[in-house]
């Protein structure tokens, strides 16, 4: 049975547009732990109780501790949570991808809490959309800090994340869609975004959305590209552009 915490104010269910949207949509001050709502999914009772005590002692609103994702979803009953600390290996036969996706569907960001040597499962969780990973060997204070970072929408870059990426260079690529690759190819080749949009027959605002999405994807795999020069480097590294001065094909 899920262990719920009833203290603190109760948030009304809100519509979410993504795993990190809940805090932003509700106007939550994510720098203040008293406003952050946390849940834990782990099939070891000692872990659930330990994290519940730690988060509560630090002033966080601890909403629920559950042994499975199904138990979490049922226990939340539509209540808002900003971040869920999720164990990778649950004893109910569920898959990593399904668990991450189901937690995200509640509007919460996912912080994976994992044994460090499960690189394949960590990689699967990150590919499914988990915002970061923290090893179970970490100090409780480190886990809490990581949860706060994820709730703020920050990318959690650490050794576990890097190890999962390094183990699979295909995952390290930003997994861009066809249109995103086309925009990146034209824009990184030197075209202004407006001209790139015209060449592809799409509106400037749509092209801007694609470009923003591209930058987010590169951040998510630990290869941020905040400038046009950085995007050029990423395009070359990922084979979208064959060279720094080339205007070759779209590399699909």
CB 131 within 8 A of CB 16: no
Could you tell me the residue ranges of all domains in the chain?
3-169, 173-237
Rounded average pLDDT over 44-53: 94
Give the fold, CATH level 3, of 3-169: Rossmann fold (3.40.50)
Higher-confidence position of 15 and 110: 110
Q: What is the pLDDT of residues 2-36, one digit of tens each?
A: 655 433 322 222 223 333 334 333 445 555 667 89
Angstrom distance (rounded) from CA 112 to CA 245: 41
The answer to whether residue 127 scores a pLDDT higher than 90 is: no
CATH of 173-237, one of 3.30.2000.10, 1.10.10.10, 3.30.530.20, 2.60.40.10: 1.10.10.10
Angstrom distance (rounded) from CA 251 to CA 4: 51
Higher-confidence position of 8 and 146: 146
Mean pLDDT over each residue of the chain, to the nearest integer: 78
The answer for 153, left when phi > 0, alpha when psi is -120 to 50, beta otherwise, is left
Q: What is the pLDDT of residues 63-98, one digit of tens each?
A: 999 999 999 999 999 899 999 999 988 989 899 999
The answer to whether residue 174 scores a pLDDT higher than 90 is: no
Per CATH, 3-169 and 173-237 having the same topology is answered no
Of all residues in the chain, the percent with pLDDT exceeding 70 is: 73
Rounded average pLDDT over 215-228: 83
Q: Give the model's pLDDT for residue 233.
A: 81
CB atoms within 10 A of CB 201: 6
Q: Give the model's pLDDT for residue 31.
A: 57
Contacts of 177 (CB under 8 A, 6+ apart): none
Quote the distance between the C-alpha of residue 240 and its chain's center: 24
Angstrom distance (rounded) from CA 114 to CA 135: 5
CB atoms within 10 A of CB 233: 16
pTM: 0.58
């Amino acid at each position: 049975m899920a262990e719920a915490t009833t203290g603190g104010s109760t948030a009304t269910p809100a519509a979410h547009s993504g795993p990190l949207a809940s805090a932003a949509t509700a106007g939550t001050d994510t720098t203040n732990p008293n406003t952050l709502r946390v849940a834990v999914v782990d099939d070891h009772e000692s872990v659930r109780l330990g994290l519940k005590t730690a988060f509560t002692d630090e002033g966080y609103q601890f909403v629920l501790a559950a042994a499975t994702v199904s138990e979490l979803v049922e226990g939340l009953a539509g209540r808002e949570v900003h971040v869920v600390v999720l164990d990778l290996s649950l004893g109910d036969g569920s898959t990593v991808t399904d668990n991450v996706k189901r937690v995200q569907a509640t509007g919460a960001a996912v912080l994976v809490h994992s044994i460090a040597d499960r690189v394949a499962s960590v990689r699967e969780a990150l590919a499914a959309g988990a915002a970061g990973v923290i090893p179970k060997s970490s100090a409780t204070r480190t886990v809490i800090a990581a949860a706060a970072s994820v709730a703020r929408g920050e990318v959690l870059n650490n050794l576990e994340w890097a190890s999962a990426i390094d183990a699979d260079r295909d995952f390290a690529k930003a997994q861009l869609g066809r249109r995103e690759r086309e925009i990146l190819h034209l824009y990184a080749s030197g075209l202004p975004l407006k001209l790139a949009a015209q060449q592809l027959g799409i509106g400037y605002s749509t092209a801007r959305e694609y470009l923003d999405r591209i930058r987010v994807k590169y951040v998510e795999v630990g290869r941020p590209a905040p400038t046009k020069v950085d995007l050029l480097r990423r395009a070359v590294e990922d084979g979208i552009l064959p060279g720094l001065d080339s205007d070759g094909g779209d590399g699909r």
